[in-house]
Amino acid sequence: MNPNALIPDWEIPEFLGLVWPENLQDKETKALAKKFYPDLIRNLLEEIPEQLSLAIIHRSGKGEHISKDLGTEQIKLIEDDKIQDIWIRDFAPFWKQSENGNVPVKGFYFPDYMDEDYLQASENDEAAGIKLGGEKTEIISIGDDEILMDGGNLTHNGSGFGVMTNRLVSDNDYYFYTRVLKMVKSYLGLQKVVLVPVEYGDVTGHVDGIVRFISENEAFVSEYPYKWEEKKNYIDKEDYLFEREQLNEIATHLQTHNLKVFRIPNGVPQISELGSAVGNYTNFLRVGEKVFVPQYGHAEQDGAALEAFEAAGFSKAHIIPVPDCVELAELGGVLNCITTHIY
């Protein structure tokens, strides 16, 4: 055990948390409850270790429905009528090891990329995140001021090395950035934090669609290897070429920190209200040795992403394709965004 170190997502958690989307705030999210979430949960139950349970947060009146469709001892139902959104990664805590047991720690969830109505609702999701951690939950703070930080804006290696986007700085620009970094590192047990630019078109400013650690000394960095085409939903060609070079610079920079960097080919970014994640494979779900990889119905790109995981050393048996992710990704996130590890 490494005291005060964050637990990496390749360590098997006690629970894997999700939010059941039915009866939440928008019709697109509700639609996911009809097929995508049931299929995803069945897929997870087939592949995750028997000692791991799924913790599904739901509104009143949905527990019996969920149990009937997916009934298994591996599911723990948590009722919360105030929960507002499916992006549990962003408001749930990280977990770090200590001599007195595992400790939950999180930033304050108040996303400025949401409209005013949602910001009021985000208070309920912040409360849900604290509830998942319990009374021991630590909120990253400077004095009485809580540090704004979404959970999707951190990837780490479990040994004190983290990568975040510079959104951490802009979200907390009322303090000198060195002080913000110092407190984030202190609370999260990090010795080193590398800040990288926000991906073009991603209003969330999250890092989990750009960089992901896969071991203590290895990381994936997104790559744009595909030809830009004139399509109404694609970002501009100049922006695409700029972002492609930016990702290459991130990969090169991380190599200077003695990391072995693998590239994972993502599709051309698409335009949407929150920045579509369609074509993003870096936002995979990791559970132990297994990786659950988004698939978008594009045979060439889906296949190339799976091959990238093999090239990084994952066995075929541990690479689990998750089909039909387009509808979810159009909302701005994929598999890492809708799950959280609870230790």
- The whole-angstrom separation of Cα 303 and Cα 188 is 36
Over range 324-341, report the average pLDDT.
Answer: 96
Residue type at 51 in one-letter notation? Q
Can you give the pLDDT at residue 25?
64
- Report DSSP state, residue 215: E
Q: Per-residue confidence at 71, pLDDT binned at 50, 70, 90?
A: low
Checking if the pLDDT of 1 tops 60, the result is: no
Residue 97's nearest CA partner among 8, 173, 185, 179 is 8
Query: pLDDT tens, 201-252?
Result: 788 999 999 999 999 999 999 999 998 888 777 888 999 999 999 999 999 9
Q: What are phi and psi of 327, to 5 degrees?
A: -60, -40
Q: Per-residue confidence at 118, pLDDT binned at 50, 70, 90?
A: low
What angle (nearest 5°) sits at the alpha carbon of residue 58, between those of residues 53 and 61? 120
Residue type at 152 in one-letter notation? G
Can you give the pLDDT at residue 22?
79
Instruction: Kindly provide the b/e burial profile for residues 221-258, where b requires at least 16 CB atoms within 10 angstroms of the residue's own CB.
Output: bbbbebebeeeeebbeeeebeebbebbeebbeebeeee
Over range 68-80, report the average pLDDT.
Answer: 84
Checking if the pLDDT of 4 tops 90, the result is: no
Q: Per-residue confidence at 273, pLDDT binned at 50, 70, 90?
A: low
- The whole-angstrom separation of Cα 28 and Cα 13 is 30
Residue type at 136 in one-letter notation? K
Checking if the pLDDT of 286 tops 60, the result is: yes
Can you give the pLDDT at residue 157?
97
Checking if the pLDDT of 27 tops 80, the result is: no
Give the chain's domains with CATH numbers: 15-342 (3.75.10.10)
Can you give the pLDDT at residue 249?
98
Over range 310-325, report the average pLDDT.
Answer: 98
Query: pLDDT tens, 87-103?
Result: 999 999 999 998 888 99
- Report DSSP state, residue 254: H
Within 13 Å of residue 341, how many CA atoms lie on the same side as its CB? 21
Residue 342's nearest CA partner among 122, 108, 12 is 12
**Over pLDDT 70: what percentage of the chain?**
96
Q: What is the DSSP string of 110-127?
A: --TTS-HHHHHHHHHHHH
In sequence order, what E strands does the chain have? 15-19, 53-58, 75-79, 94-96, 103-106, 138-139, 141-142, 145-146, 155-156, 161-165, 192-196, 211-215, 218-223, 260-265, 285-287, 290-294, 319-322, 340-342
- The whole-angstrom separation of Cα 28 and Cα 22 is 10
Lowest mean pLDDT among 34-43, 67-76, 138-147: 67-76
What is the SS3 assignment for 265?
strand
Can you give the pLDDT at residue 65?
75
What is the SS3 assignment for 148?
strand
**pTM across the whole model:** 0.95
The interaxial angle of helices 63-70 and 36-47, nearest 10 deg, is 50
Within 13 Å of residue 119, how many CA atoms lie on the same side as its CB? 7
